Chain A
Amino acid sequence: MNKKGAYEAIQSFIYIGAAIFVALAIWQLTNGFIVQKIDIADVESKLLTNRILFSSEVNYFDEEINRLYIVVVDLTKFNSEEFGSKILNEIYYGKINSEASAKLTLKDLDENKEYVSFYNEELYNEKKVLVEARLTGIGSARRLDTNYYVLIKDGNELKKGVLNIDAILPNG
């Protein structure tokens, strides 16, 4: 190869390289603006929290006037053995629920007592380990911990309380 030929070859390589780089840059920039993944974990967990909060299995329901009192947690329902199965039927995610789970902690501020119930306890215990290990990505899980000021209906008495909903949902 003579001097002119070598110079032209190098120049061609530079042009080809530049063209490839420009093509890649355009492709990458376009990719950057196209939404390829929609993250709805936050909305999903808040939706579950609200479904629990407005559930007739948690709140006091006056059968005489057919009215549900939201923010008034019925302690008899909350502490009953069937609570887990009843709330699973109300907030239905299929026969085998691998979509959502939550731990409900009701703190009685007047008597300084604490009551714990679960929504899908099996999945909660399984995924809690992954959340605590701070694992991310598919197969792991996300947590949303929310506190609500509520009233606890214990017989005919209304007590002050805080309902903590610790929702854990698997990452899809």
Chain B
Amino acid sequence: MAKRKNKKGMGLTDFFSILAIALILVVMYSLLKIFVGQSTFELKGESSRVENIISTIGILRTPINIDGIDANIAELIAVSEFDSSKRTLLEKNLIELMDNSFGTSRCSVICIDENKIESSGCGTFQIYECPLDAVVISSYDKNIIRVAFAYDVKPLSPVRIP
């Protein structure tokens, strides 16, 4: 047989119930305030692509001496398309240029069509992707050569498919 509560006991129950509800309300409201909050929409520019293209233009205009003739990197790229002996000179100059300009602590990549040239900051056993945005120059046989440059390139992290 259930024990009958007296009037004093009932008053206490009332008080604690209200207190519990108030407490729950405060806790839930605070949680909502913390986790939901007011949203901020951040507009971000896509200018890193522009920065890379601007640097690519600078690289292509860089003066260089090819066999006693004053030229620039763009001309050396065009020459090396049919004269493979110039490729070593081109690669050496481009690696030196990337290392001196952007440091050896970060990876910079220049892609001339499919040929990828990486700076000393790139990891030996890591894969770096060629940048998508390229500057187009013409070769001596009227073909198009795509030159793309990117600074601070992150390596690809391949996932093994089970």
Which residues of A come within 8 Å of B, CB atoms? Answer: 1, 3, 6, 9-10, 13-14, 17, 20-21, 24-25, 28-29, 31-40, 42-43, 46-47, 49-50, 53, 70-72, 109, 146-151, 158, 160, 162
Contact = CB atoms under 8 A, between A and B. Distances in A.
Given A9-B14, A28-B36, A29-B36, A47 B25 contact: no
A31 B41 CA distance: 13
A75 to B, nearest CB: 15
B109 to A, nearest CB: 13
Given A38-B41, A71-B61, A72-B61, A32 B36 contact: yes
Contacts of B43: 38-40, 42-43
A17 B21 contact: yes
Contacts of A25: 28, 32
Interface stretch (B47-55, B82-90, B154-162): B47-55
A101 B21 CA distance: 54
A21 B120 CA distance: 60
Nearest to A162: B101
Interface string B26-57: 00110011001111111111010011001101
17 contacts: A6-B10, A10-B13, A10-B17, A13-B21, A14-B17, A14-B21, A24-B32, A28-B36, A31-B38, A34-B38, A37-B41, A39-B43, A46-B45, A72-B61, A147-B101, A151-B61, A162-B102
Interface in B90-105: 97, 100-102
